[in-house]
Amino acid sequence: DVKVTQSSRYLVKRTGEKVFLECVQDMDHENMFWYRQDPGLGLRLIYFSYDVKMKEKGDIPEGYSVSREKKERFSLILESASTNQTSMYLCASRVYGSNQPQHFGDGTRLSIL
């Protein structure tokens, strides 16, 4: 079974801090994704990566950056956390190709105080 592991289930940080969310997958998937999930808005794509060292902006990249130095790891960075970034963050991976399923981690619930 594919396993996508997010480093923290819950995280509390302060406004202005630099925050790192880590995601690791164990199935050698090329594609990896970061979403945030808010009530009534569903999953919104922040950034995605087609392969190592590649990154593409999603629908809501402002205030975020990403890093993919190794194929199995995709990191989301909040450069200077703000209260409107309080949310559930979900990481996903999938094998390259059309119509492939995404495999999700269990999410990180991030609170910015």
Partner 1 sequence: TQLLEQSPQFLSIQEGENLTVYCNSSSVFSSLQWYRQEPGEGPVLLVTVVTGGEVKKLKRLTFQFGDARKDSSLHITAAQPGDTGLYLCAGEKNNDMRFGAGTRLTVKP
Contact 92, 38 (CB under 8 A): no
85's CB contacts (< 8 A; 6+ apart) are 63, 78, 110, 112
Which x/- pattern, by CB under 8 A, does the window 1-40 give for partner 1? Answer: ---x------------------------------x----x
Q: How many CB atoms lie within 10 A of CB 82?
A: 12
Residue 89 is a binding residue for partner 1 (CB under 8 A): no
| Nearest residue (CB) to partner 1, 19 versus 107 | 107
* Number of Cβ atoms within 10 Å of the Cβ of 28: 10
Q: Which of 22, 30, 43, 60 binds partner 1 (CB under 8 A)?
A: 43
By the criterion CB under 8 A, which residues form the site for partner 1? Answer: 4, 35, 40-45, 90, 92, 98-99, 101-107
